[in-house]
Amino acid sequence: QVQLVESGGGLVQAGGSLRLSCTASGYTFSNYAMGWFRQAPGKEREFVAAISRGGINRYYADSVKGRFTISRDNAKNTVYLQMNSLKPEDTAVYYCAANPVPSTRVAYEYWGRGTQVTVSS
């Protein structure tokens, strides 16, 4: 059974950093692009970042460019999201997802349950 498990969320002050991890199982990790999405209370889920199967191509929402970095370690079946210079508006539940190709849309095949990131001011 496919499982995506996020970790690394928490409470940080504005300007701080967090690194999220998502460990996958139940499918061939290296055959799938991975993405990060987030959803704040009362808002739609939105694209944050994506990475291609081999980790060469990376894509970011304009709101996080220059602050967030997505990476993956196929040997560990893990995708990461390094978040720097965090802002209160980054507060959301962050989800990792898997798809055959990277996409900015939410129609990914597999999803984790999410991890809470809260940025205080």
Q: In one letter, which amino acid is 90?
A: D
Is the distance from CB of 20 to CB of 81 less than 8 angstroms? yes
Q: Taking phi first (over 0 means left), then psi (-120 to 50 degrees means alpha), and beta for anything else, what does residue 23 get?
A: beta
pLDDT per position as a tens digit, 9-56: 999 999 999 999 999 999 999 999 999 999 999 999 999 999 999 999
Model pLDDT, residue 3: 97
Model pLDDT, residue 8: 97
Model pLDDT, residue 98: 97
Model pLDDT, residue 120: 97
Model pLDDT, residue 19: 98
End-to-end CA separation in angstroms for the chain: 40
Model pLDDT, residue 17: 98
pLDDT per position as a tens digit, 81-121: 999 999 999 999 999 999 999 999 999 999 999 999 999 99
Strands 92-99 and 110-111, by their bridges, are: antiparallel
